[in-house]
Amino acid sequence: MANIIEEVLKQIPKGKISDACFEGANIVLYTKDNEFLLNNKGLIKQVVDSIKKRVELRPDPSICMDLEKAEKEIKKLLPKDASVGQILFDPQRSIVVVEAEKPGLVIGKQGSILKSIREKTSWVPLIRRTPAIRSKLIENIRSVLYQHSDYRRKFLDKIGHRIYDGWKRDKREEWVRISYLGGGRQVGRSCILLQTPESRILLDCGVNVASNDESYPLLEAPEFDINQLDAVVVTHSHLDHCGFVPYLFKYGFRGPIYCTEPTRDIMSLQLLDYVKIMGSNSDKDPVFGSDDVREMVRHTVCLDYEEVTDITPDVRITLHNAGHILGSSMIHLHVGNGLHNILYTGDMKYGRTSLLEPAVTSFPRLETLMIESTYGGKDNILPPKKDCDTELIDHIKETIARKGKILIPVLGSGRAQEVLLIIEEAIRTGTLKEMPIYIDGMVWDITAIHTAYPEFLNNFIKKLIFHKDSNPFLAPFFKRIGSQKERMQVIEEKEECVILATSGMLVGGPSVEYLKHLSDNPKNKLLFVCYQGEGSLGRKLQRGATEFLTCYGQKQEVNPVKMEINTIEGLTGHSGRKQLMNFVYKCDPKPRKVIVNHGESSKCLDLASSLHKQNRIETLAPRNLDALRLR
């Protein structure tokens, strides 16, 4: 079967289809026959069943209603209380994107309104949620995608050819191999190369923000060739997993990046911020620029959880909820038509948080599990979540009682929103008195992205938003700080308050700005809620450093540290030791081999040895540049 599209066309009466192409692994057919479009008596479904691939039938652009007329018609069909925002047309693909605050109302009962739009205008409607908190950045990302619709159409078609043109190629010897280009016995620069006779795929491509000399993945490894790279799959938007992706585009990669929609949006934000921080750090040349980030956005293909898709002739992936941050996923790889099945967890939380459901443990098949071990050591026993929540609120109470300010350095995504939800609940239920909770720059934007994708949040928050119309992120005491001037006002203010700011490990960004001004007052408190990488300022302060240096151009300044410093261990978005052991135990089916990564050396080895004893299966803790044959 050399050409799957020809195969599809054979099953449809001649003359009905005007054009056919790929959109990634999906096959899209266009027709000029309106009658056939609306009623083909299940023929398309039959085709789907016979080839087991997704096939979509769309109106040919030539029969779509004129843009202006269609916009008027669509507006007439939509109910007023859906709060419709932008209506954007993608004329190349006959798609109209309708943005609304209440997507459910746009869809109508059993899709009735969508159906009317299709019938009346011959456009294919797609509904997008307008974030409840407006974000210029989300609008920019979406417009980059719409602006380049001609390029996107060609790009998606090219991916399809890569997947299907090699279909049923002569069988060669089959094998599966992985190489650690980063993230082996370390936290930071996660990057794994998966190779088969047909495919070269990167799982994550991150940087190590805490370290100056081992910052980037080892792309100089002999088995890596950027010109042979087929695709990159990104688990989530933390820089240690996605921070080096734009570098690939700088050096000519033009293939697809697969991830969830929230990951795409948050990743773009984090990367643009990273470009800014690199630019202000004058002793090193930036390794990529904002143009490379834009190029990455143009080449991103978003997948939903549980959506199965081919990405090369012999690799099919499915993303599953990882419970770590918004949109974070574990990657399930089905290799060589059932030859081997791999699960790469990325960062994972096997436990409920205020924000997300716990990681999924059930898969159709599984032979090799690659698991993180950030808190995989024997002594990494995390207290129950409830105790951590209470601890957080107690720290805040204690500090405001002595009229101090609380600084919580956070990664833009993850703990920040978890902390916000815990504080919101405490204030809503009267446990904590109301006070301003300042949210600095990027944390605010990322929180806004959370309001665009409530379907990724846990069931409790979804219920609040969808059924009770009460979005905890919109609480009035959350206040945005966007400029240095506003920062200084917060610092000088007499009133007690809580400040959440990036970066999480105090390696630049507004959190360091606040620290400089708050550190010499013993009434204030520095509260760590996320992992502090080896070598970061955060780790040094945690270990009891009594001063730290800041640079102003050539000048260095010594800042004394008199503020109280505390750490809440259990609030992490990573699984603790018990959760990791439990996850492997609960995995269904049970893997035959477990590869431990994303942890300091001792934690990887410790977890690997305990998993071996508990499950009597082969376990490994590879170092960077180690390669393993899985089949």
Separation CA 536–CA 505 (nearest Å): 6
Separation CA 378–CA 343 (nearest Å): 24
Query: Minimum Å distance from CB 347 to Zn ion?
Result: 4
Within the chain, how many helices (H) and strands (E) appear?
21, 28
> By CB under 5 A, which span of 171-179, 343-351, 423-431, 611-619 interacts with Zn ion?
343-351
Please, which residue, 47 or 330, has the CB nearer to Zn ion?
A: 330
Query: Minimum Å distance from CB 316 to Zn ion?
Result: 25
User: Would you count residue 603 as binding Zn ion (CB under 5 A)?
Assistant: no
Separation CA 417–CA 101 (nearest Å): 21
User: Would you count residue 238 as binding Zn ion (CB under 5 A)?
Assistant: yes
Q: What sign does the CA torsion over 260, 263, 265, 268 have?
A: negative
Please, which residue, 152 or 238, has the CB nearer to Zn ion?
A: 238
Please, which residue, 60 or 347, has the CB nearer to Zn ion?
A: 347
Query: Minimum Å distance from CB 322 to Zn ion?
Result: 9
Residue span 428-467 as binding mask against Zn ion, x where in contact by CB under 5 A, dash where not: ----------------------------------------
Q: In 10 A of CB 553, how many CB atoms?
A: 6
Q: What type of residue is 552? A: Y
Please, which residue, 21 or 449, has the CB nearer to Zn ion?
A: 449
Query: Minimum Å distance from CB 241 to Zn ion?
Result: 6
> By CB under 5 A, which span of 263-271, 341-349, 446-454, 521-529 interacts with Zn ion?
341-349
Please, which residue, 240 or 496, has the CB nearer to Zn ion?
A: 240
HEC secondary structure over 169-183: CCCCCCCCEEEEEEC
Query: Minimum Å distance from CB 600 to Zn ion?
Result: 12
Please, which residue, 24 or 533, has the CB nearer to Zn ion?
A: 533
Cβ-proximal residues to 68 (8 Å cutoff; 6+ apart), any chain: none
Query: Minimum Å distance from CB 439 to Zn ion?
Result: 20
> By CB under 5 A, which span of 8-16, 103-111, 152-160, 339-347 interacts with Zn ion?
339-347
Per-residue CA distances from 574 to 266, 301, 355 (Å): 19, 26, 13
User: Would you count residue 185 as binding Zn ion (CB under 5 A)?
Assistant: no
DSSP-derived secondary structure for 222-289: TT--GGG--EEE---SSHHHHTTHHHHHHTT--S-EEE-HHHHHHHHHHHHHHHHHHHH-TTS--SS-
Please, which residue, 74 or 359, has the CB nearer to Zn ion?
A: 359
Please, which residue, 265 or 347, has the CB nearer to Zn ion?
A: 347
Pairing of strands 340-344, 368-372: parallel
Query: Minimum Å distance from CB 73 to Zn ion?
Result: 45
Please, which residue, 240 or 314, has the CB nearer to Zn ion?
A: 240
Cβ-proximal residues to 540 (8 Å cutoff; 6+ apart), any chain: 548
Among 198, 347, 440, 606, which residue sits at the site for Zn ion (rule: CB under 5 A)?
347
Separation CA 546–CA 608 (nearest Å): 37
Query: Minimum Å distance from CB 240 to Zn ion?
Result: 4
Confirm if 196 and 176 have CB atoms less than 8 A apart. yes
Which run of H or E residues covers position 397? helix 385-401
> By CB under 5 A, which span of 10-18, 264-272, 342-350, 492-500 interacts with Zn ion?
342-350
Please, which residue, 99 or 347, has the CB nearer to Zn ion?
A: 347
Query: Minimum Å distance from CB 261 to Zn ion?
Result: 17
Confirm if 322 and 305 have CB atoms less than 8 A apart. no
Query: Minimum Å distance from CB 421 to Zn ion?
Result: 18
Question: Under rule CB under 5 A, how many of the chain's residues touch Zn ion?
Answer: 3
Chain positions 239 to 298 lying near Zn ion, rule: CB under 5 A, are: 240
> By CB under 5 A, which span of 87-95, 197-205, 345-353, 391-399 interacts with Zn ion?
345-353
Joined together, the tokens standing for residue 66 give 């004129």
Per-residue CA distances from 373 to 355, 605, 608 (Å): 21, 9, 9
DSSP-derived secondary structure for 430-462: TSS----EEEEHHHHHHHHHHHH-GGGS-HHHH
> By CB under 5 A, which span of 53-61, 98-106, 235-243, 378-386 interacts with Zn ion?
235-243
Query: Residues in the site for Zn ion, rule: CB under 5 A?
Result: 238, 240, 347
